[in-house]
Amino acid sequence: MEKGILISSELLEKLPQDFDHLNFFNQATKKLNSKLFVINENLIKEVLGDKYFDNIPTEQEIINSDDTASIIVSDKQYFNKTVYPSVKIIKSYNEEEQKRDVQCFVNHFKNRYEVMRKILISRQDLQESVSIIRLSRKNEREKVSVIGIVLDKQETKNGNIKLTIEDPTGVIMVLVNKTKEEIFNLAKDIVNDEVIGVSGAMGKNILFCNSLYFPDIPLNHELKKSPDEAYAVFISDIHFGIKNFISTDFLKFIAWLKGEFGNEIHREIARKVKYLFITGDIVEGIGIYPGQEEDLEIKDIYEQYEEATKYFKMIPENIQIIICAGNHDAVRMSEPQPKFDKHISKGFYEIPNLNIVSNPAIVNIHSSENFPGFNILMYHGFSFPYYADNVPSLRNAGGIFRCDLIMKYLLQKRHLAPAHGSNQYIPDPRGDNLIIDLIPDVFVSGHLHQITVSNYRNITLINSACWVVQSADNAKRGIVPNPAKVPILNLKTRQVKIMNFLSDDVKVLLSERIGVI
């Protein structure tokens, strides 16, 4: 106020405590060449860059349930049963038996191209983009823009990147010169089969790239907050049936949900939990990897699901559970994975508060007369290791230990598995089910047995942890689990806290096996 600067209290909450307001004021005045009165989010992005807010992690606080753990007797009046949660399934894949042929694959990619083109063409710089066949009529050095699907990416002998892109009318080479550092680094992270926008100058049968565009999330995506306080909690990768399942800690988690575990603060939060998301690998399954037999406590797939049902029935009925399959579950491996089998996972269909969806799926929660609710994108995450290994910036940042960056990368591509080969999939002539066409409020996944919480353009990104310690198969694949951590999302504040249900004896076991706690 002394300097005549106004800043909203909401923005103040978002900024880091050490944000240098005076320095920012001076930079902004210089850059915009005008006297400054109001600091808002757009102005900060304008002065400090689009990505400024992406680098500020969502506020997290670890609540360690062991610190003040206490078991109490459940009070039947404990939960307010007059407030019912709302769950609406927006997108869940329904399998239709049909023969798949080459034409199905062609239609699959045509459909993907069309959806992505519509997203990209809304960008001002791409509004004049032309079809590839029309490039042959352009003069050399003429400025052009095109939208295409990446067929190939090569490094030339001079160290530049040569992309081959295609649209329904033709194919063109695109050269990204290494001297253009910013776009060169973006090009290094491009994978085959993603849809991109390119603008540049025409050469002889080649386009010299000046800018690259990805479908991405719009900057103005709204941060929704619910009018009342309620919580959604997220878990995954329970792997019922494996010897390494940490049942004691999982039971502590259920006891907490029932209001029978934790201190007053923990119990107060539990009372407001209305939604529990479980993002796949419910059971360990059978025949998933060679030698798995040795790791199994329950060797029968039906019994593994019976065990899961037994635990899920302990969860209070006032909590809506939303559940999808992962690659260990007894549904087909190819994505989209359909809902659980009614025969093998029979018990699930008898639990009144269990909502079963496909993988991936979009579920809307907590809507009311005056509030549209939150759209939650659930995806188990089978494609993630491919990007951790094959995208240089992700590999260099820590690979499979940086689920937050992998999830952000896929949001920028608006696809859960853009590269053919990053997952097994069934082409669907009705549309590509792994496209992120509806922008979610929360994107949740699992698979990597890590816990990460972050924020990208007002989308909360959560990779839920697991309930197993490291198996021999995990060790082979370089997976170091971080078990029994539960992210809890306050729907009113959008703040995420992480509850830790890991017992001390498991911590000792973990440190013996994998050298970390």
Q: Where do contacts with Fe ion occur on this chain (CB under 5 A)?
A: 281, 326-327, 447
CB of 242 to Fe ion, least distance (A): 12
What number of helices (H) and strands (E) belong to the chain? 13, 20
The secondary structure of 361-400 as a DSSP string is EEEEES-BTTB--EEEEE---TTHHHHHHH-HHHHHHTGG
Among residues 232, 316, 325, the alpha carbon closest in space to that of 276 is found at 232
- Under DSSP, the state recorded for 247 is H
Beta-sheet pairing, 161-167 with 273-279: unpaired
Q: Which is nearer to Fe ion, 270 or 479 (CB)?
A: 479
* 54, 455 Cβ separation under 8 angstroms: yes
Q: Which is nearer to Fe ion, 197 or 487 (CB)?
A: 487
* 183, 209 Cβ separation under 8 angstroms: yes
Query: What region does 358 belong to: left with phi over 0, alpha with psi -120 to 50, or beta?
Result: beta
Q: Tell me the C-alpha distance between 109 and 452, whole Å.
A: 32
Q: Which is nearer to Fe ion, 292 or 327 (CB)?
A: 327
Q: Tell me the C-alpha distance between 373 and 382, whole Å.
A: 27
Q: Which is nearer to Fe ion, 172 or 444 (CB)?
A: 444
- Under DSSP, the state recorded for 258 is T
Q: Which is nearer to Fe ion, 402 or 447 (CB)?
A: 447
CB of 483 to Fe ion, least distance (A): 14
Identity (one letter) of the amino acid at 325?
A
Q: Tell me the C-alpha distance between 182 and 200, whole Å.
A: 14
CB of 281 to Fe ion, least distance (A): 4
Bridge partners (DSSP) of residue 497 are 488
Question: Which residue is closest to Fe ion by CB?
Answer: 447
CB of 236 to Fe ion, least distance (A): 8
Could you give the 3-state DSSP secondary structure of residue 106? Answer: helix
CB of 383 to Fe ion, least distance (A): 11
Q: Tell me the C-alpha distance between 485 and 448, whole Å.
A: 13
Chain position carrying tokens 């095109």: 146
Angle between helices 21-32 and 41-48 (to 10 degrees): 70
Q: Which is nearer to Fe ion, 215 or 326 (CB)?
A: 326
Q: Which is nearer to Fe ion, 189 or 281 (CB)?
A: 281
Cβ neighbours, 10 Å, residue 430: 11
Q: Which is nearer to Fe ion, 408 or 447 (CB)?
A: 447
Identity (one letter) of the amino acid at 443?
F
Q: Which is nearer to Fe ion, 226 or 423 (CB)?
A: 423
Find the angle CA(42)-CA(180)-CA(120) to the nearest 5 degrees: 50
CB of 292 to Fe ion, least distance (A): 13
Could you give the 3-state DSSP secondary structure of residue 240? Answer: strand
CB of 278 to Fe ion, least distance (A): 12
Bridge partners (DSSP) of residue 197 are 147, 213
CB of 118 to Fe ion, least distance (A): 32
Among residues 461, 432, 465, the alpha carbon closest in space to that of 446 is found at 465
CB of 104 to Fe ion, least distance (A): 26
CB of 327 to Fe ion, least distance (A): 5
Q: Which is nearer to Fe ion, 423 or 455 (CB)?
A: 423
CB of 280 to Fe ion, least distance (A): 6
Q: Which is nearer to Fe ion, 281 or 284 (CB)?
A: 281
